[in-house]
A and B are shown apart, each in its own frame.
Chain A
Amino acid sequence: MESLFLRTAATLIVPLQIGLSVFLLLRGHNEPGGGFIGGLVCAAAILLWGISRDFPTARRLMRLHPTTLIGLGVLTAVGSGLAGSLLGLSFLTGVWAGSIPWLPFVGEVKLGTPLYFDIGVYLTVIGVITQIAFALEEAD
């Protein structure tokens, strides 16, 4: 599937896509977006990289093995729930602590366990999609 057009386009598009995925993740609480959608965009970027070049390169781009990413994601989500438990509230109760007043494109980002939870979802989704895609790509 080597194609110069695709390759050049991917070089331009993939960084934008990854930036977009983080943007979607962070603004999700107020505008359309969120961890699930952000994760899908990021996974699509990695797959685009893999298709335009080759999949081992895409794996290296990820640094972490998809399985590790899945584990990290689920643990992050569980961990965000434990914050409530530790404060004597019930599991997964939202706990908020301050905010970042302004980030480029996003604006104000409120910091709290729901954001942390969403990051867990984001990581899990990236891990799941890439795991399945890599497995299928390598199968024979």
Chain B
Amino acid sequence: MILSALLVLVAGAAAAPLLYRWMGARAGWVLALLPLVLFLALAARLPDIADGRPIAERTPWIPSLGIDLAFRIDGLALLFLLVILGIGALILLYGSGYLKGHPLQGRFFGYLLLFMIAMCGMVSADNTILLFVFWELTGIASYLLIGFYHEDAKARSSALQALLVTFLGGQALLAGLVLLSIATGGSFSLSETLEQREQVTAHPWYPAILLLILFGAFTKSAQFPFHFWLPGAMSAPAPVSAYLHSATMVNAGIFLMARMAPALAGTELWRGLATTAGVATMLAGALLAYPQADLKKLLAYSTVSALGTMILLLGLDTVLAVKAAMLFFLVHALYKGALFMAAGTVDHETGTRDVRVLSGLAKAMPLTTAAAVGAGLSMCGLPPLVGFISKELLYEAKLAAPYIGPAVTAAGVAANVLMVAVGLIVAFRPFHGTLNHTPKPPHEGKWTLWLPPLTLALLGILFGLAPGLIDRGLIAPAVSAVRAQETEVTLKLWHGINSVLMLSIATVATGFVVFRLRHRARPAAERIAQSGPGSLGPARLYEWLLEGMVQCAKFLTHTLQHGSLRGYVGVAVSVMVAVTGAALLRVWSPAALVWDFSDLRPYEGVLLIAMIAGAVFAALSNSRLAAIASLGIVGFGVALVFGMYGAPDLALTQLLVETLTLVILVLVIYRLPRIASRSTPRQQIADAILALSAGAVITVLLLIAQNLHPEPVLRDYFVQNSLEAKGRNVVNVILVDFRALDTLGEITVLAAAALGVGGLIWLRPRRKQPEGGES
């Protein structure tokens, strides 16, 4: 059922451009039905999964390697799937309005569905290799989506940056997963691996496995110092930012950690790595977010901070922290998705995203305002929104953390204070006050632009007022899956007056003060960004590495592919002489050579002399045509030798290839000028030495080879078995039957080479006058 559901989405993605051609932007409405139906179908299975009966299925894919299309939807996968499909349906709706009239909108829907397939596949995969495949597919789909405005150079480079950074992590992840599979006895089955916690954590490779897998998770979830690709990815259209960079893709790393927790968590190394990265990212994201003026940048950096919080919680590794992490994932997806969409609507209807310009939009855009304020209050953690419950739980988990409780709580409060300020800047500032002049006169967007964010904001209020809707059914099964044991979760809006509530009140109050101070903070932040340390960030390192790689590739290409045919042949022959010569020296002795020419027949001698004469004449000739003709003598001589010694197929082939080479060379020669200048005497001497030593090495090799009489195992095998393959010509039977795959590879190479030659000649820029020299 899961596989067929994915295939339905694939069909949707493939049909998207056609559907768009047929019905325009409304294609988005139709396509949104696909994830909606899947969402409802899954929601109907919710009680089953909450009772601990996951949906599982398995279809063989590459059985010889133990790689199956195995899927398993447990509590954790279900939580992520519902978010991916639910928000996905809303995003398709929103995208139909946001990109209305864009000529490539149909393709956009296709990319979005492709991304959705990758995410759904990744969270429900029950095979580590399958998980990796879908993991990388999310990266490819996000590359297409971030670079959707492909005429914009910045969008292209941001897309590439996101792709490279997350692919770097992907490579580490693959290595980690393979090591993990070896450490657990060679199985790629995820559910089997997760049951072997003792074996994994005691294994000597455990630190390497953990480091590699966490590296993958950290790059994907934009953890410090890999956070820089996420704000860069804001060149994407708003629906993409709302979907990929708040609700889904950036949470893939969180998912990976949660998924792997049963096997990998519970050690000091896990706690140390994840809490360090989490705290650093949480603070860095919040500090970088606060002084931004662009709505999307504000949201992007605050997402970085939120991702840090989730990694920190998973790193704390207590039941309470995991509860907080799972709830915060849901809450964050709801409010951040809504805010990104609201920001996109504001941009769409006013023409700017600058919070210094935007003001007083509430009257013109009441519904967007409602969505933004609803989501913003949840972000600030005010009751009665679900964000409040989530923040209470966050503080409770941090306070209760063993040893480091006070430190992480302090860091958490600091980050949350800044988040409250950012929440106010994003969700309050643009709508409050008097109307400012904007590039476009502000007005409310179409229903597709306000309904999706408003839906998410209302869900935030609904879950806040009635947390019973999600705690037992949705959050508890997810926590149980992460902790690998049955866990109860009960959420309440009101906990009574306690230290956590005090912290919450202090956070909001301080956040409001910080919000008022924003005008002073911005110039200061700009000064820091432009001065020394600001310009030395990881983004600079990335650029430097990328530039270095390109330079290195250029250098190598210029060194190896210099375009001089003499150089290529010289290198090839020198290597042959050096390697073969070195091997020959080890078996060398005068006695090893067989100098026995007694059975040389006269006509063979004549042939040999003709070939030698041809070679000498070719080397000395001053005319290309004469040189080619004399080389032809050598070639036909070789064909005769093959024929005489019982290899008719080889002789025929050599004869034909020789003929055709002659014809083709003649075609080329006509276009070349006369040989303008010959090599200098010194070069000629060097060439002669190289040629003679090559000849000497081959001669010695052949003379020594006379002594060797290997057992004719292969020959007998082929002769005996070729009749079974219904052929008497062993050479041909080998070519088309025994080794047909090799032949297939060879003709494919030939085909590619011919297409390349055609392309090079037909597509090159025309030159007025043929010019050229010896090459």
Contacts and interface: CB of A to CB of B under 8 A. Distances in A.
Q: Do A and B bind each other?
A: yes
Interface of A: 24, 28-37, 40-41, 43-44, 47, 51, 66-67, 70-71, 73-74, 77-78, 81, 91-92, 94, 96, 110, 112, 114-115, 117-118, 120-121, 124-125, 127-129, 131-133, 135-140
B751 A40 contact: no
A21 B592 CA distance: 45
Contacts of B748: 74
B727 A30 contact: yes
Contacts of A43: 660
A28 B735 CA distance: 11
Given A40-B656, A136-B667, 8 more contacts: A30-B727, A74-B747, A91-B741, A92-B741, A124-B751, A128-B753, A129-B660, A131-B757
B282 to A, nearest CB: 52
A47 B656 CA distance: 12
B648 interface: yes
B57 interface: no
Contact of B751 (A33, A74, A117, A133): A74
B649 interface: yes
Which residue, A40, A73, A128, has most C-beta atoms of chain B within 10 A? Answer: A128
B628 to A, nearest CB: 14
A121 B657 contact: no
A35 B653 contact: no
B556 interface: no
Contact of B755 (A40, A70, A117, A125): A70
Interface size class of B (residues with CB under 8 A): 35 or more
A97 B729 CA distance: 19
Given A70-B754, A92-B740, A136-B668, A121 B747 contact: yes
Given A33-B729, A94-B725, A118-B736, A132 B649 contact: no
- A-B CB proximity, top 4 nearest: A29-B727, A40-B656, A32-B648, A128-B754
A28 to B, nearest CB: 5
B775 to A, nearest CB: 14
B101 interface: no
A125 B750 contact: yes
Interface in B670-699: 671
Instruction: Specify the main secondary structure of chain B where it touches its partner.
Output: helix
B427 to A, nearest CB: 57
Contacts of A24: 652
Instruction: Specify the main secondary structure of chain A where it touches its partner.
Output: helix
A94 B737 contact: yes
B433 interface: no
Which residue, B747, B750, B751, has most C-beta atoms of chain A within 10 A? Answer: B747
A135 B732 contact: no
B663 A47 contact: yes
Contacts of B741: 81, 91-92
Contact of B725 (A34, A73, A114, A128): A114
A124 to B, nearest CB: 4
Given A29-B732, A34-B732, A114-B725, A40 B744 contact: no
A94 B653 CA distance: 24
Given A30-B728, A70-B751, A127-B751, A135 B761 contact: yes
Contacts of B740: 81, 92, 114, 117
B758 interface: yes
B747 A34 contact: no
Which residue, A32, A96, A129, A135, has most C-beta atoms of chain B within 10 A? Answer: A32
Nearest to B649: A32
Contacts of A32: 648-649, 652, 729, 731
Contact of B653 (A37, A47, A74): A37
Nearest to B770: A140
Contacts of A138: 761-762
Interface in B639-653: 648-649, 652-653
Contacts of A70: 751, 754-755
A96 B725 CA distance: 9
Given A29-B729, A40-B657, A44-B663, A135 B762 contact: yes
A127 to B, nearest CB: 7
B732 A33 contact: yes
A45 to B, nearest CB: 11
Given A28-B729, A29-B733, A124 B750 contact: yes
B600 interface: no
Interface string B451-494: 00000000000000000000000000000000000000000000
A33 B668 contact: no
Interface string B413-439: 000000000000000000000000000
Which residue, B652, B653, B748, has most C-beta atoms of chain A within 10 A? Answer: B652
A51 B729 CA distance: 34
B664 interface: yes
